[in-house]
Amino acid sequence: MVIIIGVLAAFGVPRLLKSVERSKASEAFKYMTSVRDSQERHSMRNGEYASTIADLDFKQADPKYFVVLPIEPGSTGSIEDSWSMTLRRTGASGGYGAYEVTFTQEGYDPIASTIEAYPEIHPMSR
């Protein structure tokens, strides 16, 4: 009986940890999608992207498991027509370390996002 429970736990716990971490990563993608949408509205109204979250019509609490890094000029070097923003995973991450999720005016940036190294928790991968 004890052996059966041990075997089940050995297989079930890692799957549970992946599922929990994937859920936490989904929070980052949802947050960043909202930032991107708000940036587009700001750009339409003001002719440039916002340089801070406070400048956006954004009413969402910061993600619980991520540090929100500042908005920076994007690929063109000017906030007028490009931006980039990163969320960094904090705290215990089920053994995955401090991965990052980055978005730009184009959307999710897989090149700058270190979550790409973990497809098993990446909400956009299957």
Query: Which tens digits make up the pLDDT trace of 70-85?
Result: 999 999 999 999 999 9
Give the pLDDT band (50/70/90) at residue 102: very high
pTM: 0.84
Structural domain includes residue 96: yes
In percent, how much of the chain has pLDDT > 70? 83
DSSP labels, 29-92: HHHHHHHHHHHHHHHHHHSS--SSGGGS----PPPTTEEEPPPEE-TTS-TTT-EEEEEEE-S-
Structural domain includes residue 25: yes
What 8-state DSSP symbol labels residue 126? -
Structural domain includes residue 63: yes
Structure tokens at 100: 């990052």
Structural domain includes residue 80: yes
Structural domain includes residue 93: yes
Structural domain includes residue 58: yes
**The pLDDT of residue 8:** 46
Structural domain includes residue 126: no
**The pLDDT of residue 4:** 53
Structural domain includes residue 102: yes
User: Structural domain tally of the chain?
Assistant: 1
Domain that holds residue 10: 4-121
Burial class from Cβ neighbours inside 10 Å (0-12, 13-18, 19+) for residue 46 reads: exposed
